[in-house]
Amino acid sequence: MTEPAEHRPAPPGENSATTPGGVRCSDAERAETESALHVAVGEGRLTMAEVEDRIARVYAARYRHDLAAITADLPSAPDAVAGWRPIVSAAGRQVLTDLLALLGRDRTVSVRRRLTVALVTLATVLVAVLLVVLALHGIGGDGFEHHELGRE
Determine the pLDDT at residue 54: 94
Q: For residue 63, give the DSSP letter.
A: B
Per-residue confidence at 146, pLDDT binned at 50, 70, 90?
Answer: low
94-121: string of b/e by CB count within 10 Å (b at 16+)?
eeeebebbbeeeeeebeeeebeebeeee
Whether 26 shows a pLDDT value over 60: the answer reads yes
Mean pLDDT value of segment 26-36: 91
Average pLDDT over residues 129-140: 80
